[in-house]
Homo-oligomer: A and B are copies of this chain.
Amino acid sequence: MKETLDFLSTEFTVRDYECDIQGVVNNANYQHYLEHARHEFLISRGISFAQLHDEGIDLIVTRVEIDYKYPLRSRDKFVVRSSVQREGNTRLVFVQDIFRIPDDKLVVNARVTGVATRNGRPVRPGDIVVKMGLD
């Protein structure tokens, strides 16, 4: 397994509509935050979904693991710290942690596994891996 040395930090502020009856961010919304941070990560590496799609390649999520450590509340600021690893020939694993700002309280640990597919079948991520510095 080879891991990139670097990571991307993406900052957010909790919006009130993301909180539920309990006054904390609804569990599903963390997946929205993580997804947005992954897309920012890919873009920072010059990887465009649209361009990949035009080349016949789609990136899809096959597995999500999220540990909820501490809840975010209305107007909390936080950062998603994202890095990526290869796993086997076809899988990419995003390791993503969420920390509250400014006290660095750990909010969420997540592992999100994705594969590159062509016509619905997994393929070696190829060029994507090079752009991510994982080859």
Contacts and interface: CB of A to CB of B under 8 A. Distances in A.
Interface of A: 15-17, 19-23, 26-29, 31-32, 35-36, 39, 49, 58, 60-68, 74
A19 B60 CA distance: 14
Nearest to A37: B15
Contact of A26 (B17, B27, B65, B68): B17
A20 B35 CA distance: 12
Contacts of A39: 15-16
A16 B27 contact: no
Main secondary structure of the interface of A (DSSP, over half): mixed
Contacts of A63: 65-68
Contacts of A29: 28
Contacts of A58: 22
Contact of A27 (B21, B22, B35, B65): B35
A74 B28 contact: no
Contact of A66 (B15, B35, B64, B67): B64
